[in-house]
Amino acid sequence: MDYSIPTVDLSPFFRENDEDGKKKAIEVIREACSTYGFFQIVNHGVPPTLLCRALELSKTFFGYSDEEKLKSSPGSGAPLPAGYSRQPLHSPDKNEYLLMFPPSSTFNVYLENPPEFKEVLEEVFSHLTKTCSLIESIVNECLDLPPNFLKEYNHDRSWDFMAALRYFPATEAENNGITEHEDGNCVTFVFQDQVGGLEVKKNDQWIPVTPAQDTIVVNLGDVIQGEKWVEPLPQFSKDIGEPPKYRGFLYKEYQALRMRNKTHPPTKPEDVIHITHYATTT
């Protein structure tokens, strides 16, 4: 069976009195979340020209010498290494990235070249934050949670981050990129260039997500972000007479385990930490 990731038009949420359009979009997202955990959005409020400019400047940055790129190397103290980094040589992943936290964060990045790159990324960050708030409210409704539940639970936005990624060219011997994984946050946005490469797994079948102009891919991650205690909500366990599938845990501890995956990749795939690390046994 062939699968494809649904595309949702968010324009009804940016104009007044289009309740039917909003309801249709919410239903598509509800089905996509339960079926794939992925969907794509268009008319999302992020200026397409801004996204394209960010890609252009990212390409310029990654084309610099290692010496120049390392001037924006990670600062200390961040839960993830802010700034420019490359995957360690012993890692199966082969990529380089520039990781940024919100402009107000203490983990801000020193980035001088190319000119205006930092300002463009910060502007993109600002737009994506607003779009993420909208997606968060829609997911809140899809889960039939109390109004503003996710917004109030996930109120600390200083832990949000954005990364510009460059994967090394594939060769006949190596298919470089990020290996199979699950995102450990609440919501991930992916804006691809025309090279593509993103795939989603459904029923043991890998589905290519073909890049489409001005389209952002949305991935629901493992958990809600923040330094919080995470556990199944009663309406998904006790209230329906079902035992919880996962035991409770502290998010920052889970994030530390996820980072350990990157800095010290396990030799066996089954030792990689995912949300199933906290699965209950029956």
Q: Locate the domains of the chain by residue range.
A: 7-226, 227-282
- At 106 the pLDDT is 60
Mean pLDDT, residues 204-209 taken together:
79
Instruction: Give the pLDDT band of residue 10 (cuts 50, 70, 90).
Output: very high
- At 176 the pLDDT is 63
pLDDT digits (tens, 9 = 90+) for 39-93: 899 999 999 999 999 999 999 999 999 888 888 876 555 555 678 877 654 455 5
279's CB contacts (< 8 A; 6+ apart) are 245, 246, 247
- At 231 the pLDDT is 75
Return the percentage of the chain with pLDDT > 70, whole number: 80
Q: What is the mean pLDDT of the chain?
A: 79
- At 90 the pLDDT is 47
- At 282 the pLDDT is 56
List Cα–Cα distances, 102 to 24, 72, 86, 151, 188, in angstroms: 32, 16, 21, 17, 15
Q: How many helices (H) and strands (E) does the chain have?
A: 6, 11
Lowest-pLDDT range, 50-59, 119-128, 175-184, 264-273? 175-184
Instruction: Give the pLDDT band of residue 104 (cuts 50, 70, 90).
Output: low
**Cβ-count burial 143-156 (b if 16+ within 10 Å, e if not):** eeeeeebbeebbee
Are 11 and 174 a contacting pair, CB within 8 Å?
no
Highest mean pLDDT among 10-14, 138-142, 189-193: 10-14
* Alpha carbon of residue 174 to chain centroid: 25
Instruction: Give the pLDDT band of residue 268 (cuts 50, 70, 90).
Output: confident
Are 65 and 34 a contacting pair, CB within 8 Å?
no
* Residue 262: pLDDT over 60: yes
List Cα–Cα distances, 206 to 2, 95, 209, 277, in angstroms: 10, 21, 9, 23
**pLDDT: is 58 or 197 the higher one?**
58
Mean pLDDT, residues 250-278 taken together:
75
**pLDDT: is 54 or 101 the higher one?**
54
- At 89 the pLDDT is 47
Is the full-model pTM beyond 0.85? no
Look up residue 234 and give its two tokens: 């009663």
* Residue 185: pLDDT over 70: no
- At 77 the pLDDT is 53
Mean pLDDT, residues 180-204 taken together:
75
Superfamily of domain 7-226: B-lactam Antibiotic, Isopenicillin N Synthase; Chain (2.60.120.330)
Mean pLDDT, residues 133-145 taken together:
84
**pLDDT: is 4 or 16 the higher one?**
16
Highest mean pLDDT among 24-38, 65-79, 91-105, 191-205: 24-38
